[in-house]
A = this chain, B = another copy of it.
């Protein structure tokens, strides 16, 4: 069974190439971008402006193929793909929580953006702490490495 998706908009950011990009929103604090939502979907943006943060689902459109073990940016050991956020995945869907500054017509102004310019947007969901913020977290192999996440940038290993 195949599932077919189609872009509902385009994400614009200062990052025109993978190399040098922040690897997650935490390393992209203050980086601004915009989202152009296609005309036929704009009515669905009503009421979204009241949310400070939104979850973007998007297509890792430069990813081709995948390996089930990868060496993540934050590590020097191969890790199981699903224990990482690497873009080359069986279903190349990216997820970022970004700050929503304002909406003008079909344009969303966002901040803390770790996404490549021109990325096709698939979905927008409101970020809701009761749904999305569990407590008593453990983060496995990332436990040490995550302290350094703000200082890391992408190289071209996931091209």
CB within 8 Å of B: which A104-154 residues: 112, 120, 122-134, 136-143, 146, 149-150
Q: Of B7, B26, B130, which one neighbours A131 at CB under 8 angstroms?
A: B26
Contact in complex: A55, B146 (CB < 8 Å):
no
Contact in complex: B131, A133 (CB < 8 Å):
no
- Within the complex, the shortest CB–CB distance from A104 to chain B, in Å, comes to 15
**A79 CB contacts on chain B under 8 angstroms:** 46-47
CB within 8 Å of B: which A51-97 residues: 51-53, 55, 57, 59, 68-69, 79-85, 89-91, 93, 95, 97
Q: A3-B59, A134-B127 are in contact. Are A139 and B69 (CB under 8 A)?
A: no
A48 CA / B127 CA spacing, docked (Å): 24
Contact in complex: A47, B141 (CB < 8 Å):
yes
Residues of chain A at the chain B interface (Cβ within 8 Å): 1-8, 24-26, 41, 43-53, 55, 57, 59, 68-69, 79-85, 89-91, 93, 95, 97, 99, 112, 120, 122-134, 136-143, 146, 149-150
Closest 9 CB pairs of A and B: A50-B140, A46-B80, A47-B83, A44-B81, A52-B138, A43-B68, A44-B68, A82-B124, A48-B83
